[in-house]
Structure 1
Amino acid sequence: MSAAPTAALRARTAVYAAFVLNGFCFSSWVARIPSVRETLELTPGRLSLLLLALSIGSVVAMPLSGAVVVRLGRARTVLAGATAVAVGMATTAVAVDGLGSVPLAAAGLLVQGAGVAAWDVAMNVEGTVVERRLDRSIMSRFHAGYSFGTVLAAGLGAGLLALSVPTWLHLSVTAVLALAGAAVVVRSFLDDPAPEPGSAPAGAITLRRAWTEPRTLLIGVMVLGMAFVEGTANDWLAVGMVDGYGTGHAVGVAGFAVFVTAMTLGRLLGPVVLQRVGRVPALRVSAALAVAGVLLFVLAPSVPLAVAGAAVWGTGAALGFPLGMSAAADEEVNAAVRVSVVSSVGYAAFLAGPPVLGLLADRIGVLDALTAAAVMSALALVVSGAAAPHHAGTALGAERERGRGTVSS
């Protein structure tokens, strides 16, 4: 085996680890939200404002992250993002348990959100570079690693809560692990291309130019729709089970667990789907499944059918975000700026989704409000053709366009 494939395989493992670690950090914070609300004595409205700080940090930093990747490189940007995540988490931990300060906790979440944005863009760009080096479509499996990290952290968080481990200790240790883990994994990232003195690489575009490209923006709209589908389930699926079907909280959580499991499996199987049908058909099938799953969940006459709807919903939500990242990065020289644009548009769903669903739920009920996710997945279906590959000259391009090629394990 030559040195280049060996380096690419090492980088593949490193990217998996970066995704797992990123998901673990985010879910560690989510697991502590109930205890933070109790410690700070927050009403639901004040809690929603506190949680908004993290989303604002991500949405503000996301458009700039591509330029940061270009300037610092992928590995350094991941490490810088992990540092911001660690500082933000530690600040929030001290603010909650040490000082009882809501403004300081919000500041910590703002920094954490900015770090998440930089980390997210850089590791997605690295993932697309690894795809090209290996000539295989494996982005969905990287995102499955993120899902695995969230599940792992949720389980650990539940155990720590049962043992009455304080928030400051949980989040502080997670912050240290985030920084140490990122420092290790980026050592195996692929080298960034050497800059050409006095000029930009041939074919390179500016961030401003990327924001005016119709294809890039349409891919962003597709990712926006699918991110809304995924984020709606994260925030409201369990509540919809409880309010809409009169189940207990345990059944509601079980319904959400079915969704997450189906989505993770869908991402693991994503390369097989791409091998058979190609990128655009895979996106269209995914969006159609998401529409069907949401409608089945909302309209089901019984709890078992609603759970089946959650499974279809999760399967449909699996590929939209990772394939959007791959589509944005078809041209390596402009991957960073285009991924940052697409991520920025997509992350708007996580910022706008909770309040939009909350307003709808106040008027028509939580279960019926979830039909908004079906509408957004239908929008993604309509614009998914924009993700057609720029080039099919490589085995990877042919695989994405015609469903041929090899798939990594």
Structure 2
Amino acid sequence: MKSSPASPPSISAARFAVNMFFALNGIAFANWVVRIPDIKAELKLPPEVLGVSLLGGAIGSLCSMVFGGYLMARFGSKQVTTLAGVLTFLSLMLPGYATNAWTLFAALFFYGAFNGLMDVSMNDQASINEKQHGRSIMSSFHGVFSLGGLIGSLIGGWLSSLHVPVSLHLTSIGLVLVLLVLLSSRWLIPTTPHPEEAHTEPVFIRPAPSLWIIGIMAFCVMLGEGGMADWSTVYLRENIQASETQSAIGYGAFSGLMMLGRFLGDGLINRFGSRTIVGWGGAIMTLGLVLGLTVNTLPAVIVGFACVGLGCSALFPCFLSSASRNPDMRPASAITAVATMAYFGFLVGPPLLGLVAGQVGLRAALFIIAAAGLFILLNHRRVQG
């Protein structure tokens, strides 16, 4: 006698599971970020060399994300999300064992590759759950990611202050997160694979013309997010002479305000419209960081970093929601296309800041993030909604 197929999870259970994946991803990323200054010091890497090593993560993300649409069509997003989550958190351990710039590059390439695939697939799960709810909830998922980042920065800052070796720190966190992924994956939303579509899915998904402006603005947002993630703690430690705990608080402020903005984002978007929110975001991101870097004291810089988090907060989720509703492309393909363009921001951002910092200093280099915010502000009227 054949057993009946397992019933799909309830909408609320699925939302819980997707939120778990976003939160765990944020926890993992923050634990890596707060240890960047320690790895930089241990390996004696100048800013420009660290920037090249960080390029490994972005290249890995891009290499995997272009296959996201194909893999989800072939196997279904639930299976891809689960496997990508496990591999992401296993590879989180690798940077702790790096011995030089090139092994750090290789470690981050694998972490970035699996993390990029997890990013695309869990956003596909989020877009499906958003459609199940029949209202905008995408921003809240990214708010949970930021909540994970805040929690992760506190955990990572605490372990760093105790001088726990980076390898032991990241290995322990990675194993715990793998266990949590396996426990929560059962409630992800099952999707029907379409192998016939997978064979016609291009490896590089070219965005429809209607998606280009969204992709370019997403690029600017992710340049800001990636730059803050990779360089905020380094700037506080080396330029402001902050302690390990104070540096972690700086990244925590960035994540915390981003979390707040994302939790409030859905309501604000529904009330004021995406165009207005994008304009506000670009303005806050630009003015806050310019003022913080100009005053250049510990409180001012932390406030400036927090403004970048608040300014960026609702923008990327808004772009992904728009992509998932685009009539010219399948939702999974549209999300993959926009996310891939956005990750060029991660590709360009951290190494660009490192290279510029090697010539004119990190403080001047961070003004590039303010310029990205200004571009968003000047072009916000191009956003629909």
TM class, shorter-length: 0.7 to 0.9
Shift of 1:310: 4.0
Tell me which amino acid in the other structure corresponds to 1:337. S
**CA distance in structure 2 between the partners assigned to 1:298 and 1:165 by the alignment:** 31
Aligned match for 2:83, one of 80, 85, 96: 80
Contact 1:86 1:178 in 2 (8 A): yes
1:386-397 map, 5 Å: 387-388=383-384
Which structure is higher in RCO with an 8 Å CA cutoff and minimum separation 6? Answer: 2
The match for 1:176 is 175
1:171-210 map, 5 Å: 171-193=170-192, 195=194, 200=197, 206-207=201-202, 210=205
Shift of 1:296: 2.5
The match for 1:111 is 110
Greater alpha carbon shift after TM alignment, 105-114 vs 7-16: 105-114
Shift of 1:16: 0.8
Distance 1:189 1:166, change over 3 A: same
- Work out whether 1:340 is the aligned partner of 2:336: yes
What are the Cα deviations for residues 29-51 of structure 1, in whole angstroms up to 9, with x where unaligned?
23333444455555555444333
What are the Cα deviations for residues 217-254 of structure 1, in whole angstroms up to 9, with x where unaligned?
221101111112223333444666678xx744146665
**CA distance in structure 2 between the partners assigned to 1:101 and 1:359 by the alignment:** 18
- Work out whether 1:355 is the aligned partner of 2:351: yes
Aligned match for 2:325, one of 322, 330, 340: 330
TM-score normalised per structure 1 = 0.80
Greater alpha carbon shift after TM alignment, 123-132 vs 76-85: 76-85
1:94-133 map, 5 Å: 95-96=97-98, 100=99, 104-133=103-132
Shift of 1:363: 4.8
TM-score normalised per structure 2 = 0.84
The match for 1:55 is 58
The match for 2:313 is 318
Q: Percent identity?
A: 28
Contact 1:31 1:154 in 2 (8 A): yes
Pair member with larger Rg:
1
**CA distance in structure 2 between the partners assigned to 1:229 and 1:92 by the alignment:** 23
- Work out whether 1:64 is the aligned partner of 2:67: yes
Aligned match for 2:27, one of 24, 28, 35: 24
RMSD between superposed Cα atoms in Å: 3.3
Aligned match for 1:249, one of 226, 238, 242: 242
- Work out whether 1:8 is the aligned partner of 2:11: yes
SS in 2 for 1:177: helix
Contact 2:153 2:251 in 1 (8 A): no
**CA distance in structure 2 between the partners assigned to 1:104 and 1:366 by the alignment:** 24
What are the Cα deviations for residues 316-369 of structure 1, in whole angstroms up to 9, with x where unaligned?
111111111111111597111111111111111122112322344455543343
The match for 2:3 is none
Tell me which amino acid in the other structure corresponds to 2:174. A
Contact 1:92 1:105 in 2 (8 A): yes
1:148-163 map, 5 Å: 148-163=147-162
Greater alpha carbon shift after TM alignment, 50-59 vs 84-93: 84-93
Tell me which amino acid in the other structure corresponds to 1:172. T
SS in 1 for 2:376: helix
Size of the aligned set, in residue pairs, is 376
Contact 2:224 2:349 in 1 (8 A): no
Aligned match for 2:212, one of 214, 217, 223: 217
Distance 1:295 1:358, change over 3 A: same
The match for 1:381 is 377
Contact 1:283 1:381 in 2 (8 A): yes
Shift of 1:169: 3.0
Contact 1:8 1:130 in 2 (8 A): yes
Consecutive unaligned residues in structure 1, runs of 5 or more: 389-400, 402-409
**CA distance in structure 1 between the partners assigned to 2:137 and 2:55 by the alignment:** 32
Contact 1:230 1:317 in 2 (8 A): yes
**CA distance in structure 2 between the partners assigned to 1:153 and 1:146 by the alignment:** 10
**CA distance in structure 2 between the partners assigned to 1:269 and 1:343 by the alignment:** 22
The match for 1:394 is none
**CA distance in structure 2 between the partners assigned to 1:162 and 1:270 by the alignment:** 34
Contact 2:49 2:354 in 1 (8 A): no
Greater alpha carbon shift after TM alignment, 140-149 vs 355-364: 355-364
- Work out whether 1:278 is the aligned partner of 2:273: yes
Distance 1:262 1:163, change over 3 A: closer
Tell me which amino acid in the other structure corresponds to 1:358. G
What are the Cα deviations for residues 80-104 of structure 1, in whole angstroms up to 9, with x where unaligned?
21232244234555x44xxx57655
**CA distance in structure 1 between the partners assigned to 2:86 and 2:55 by the alignment:** 21
Aligned match for 1:33, one of 33, 36, 44: 36
Contact 2:36 2:230 in 1 (8 A): no
Shift of 1:207: 4.2
Contact 1:283 1:384 in 2 (8 A): yes
**CA distance in structure 2 between the partners assigned to 1:46 and 1:362 by the alignment:** 9
- Work out whether 1:142 is the aligned partner of 2:135: no
Distance 1:231 1:36, change over 3 A: closer
Distance 1:285 1:34, change over 3 A: closer
Contact 1:297 1:306 in 2 (8 A): yes
Aligned match for 2:366, one of 370, 373, 387: 370
Contact 2:9 2:188 in 1 (8 A): no
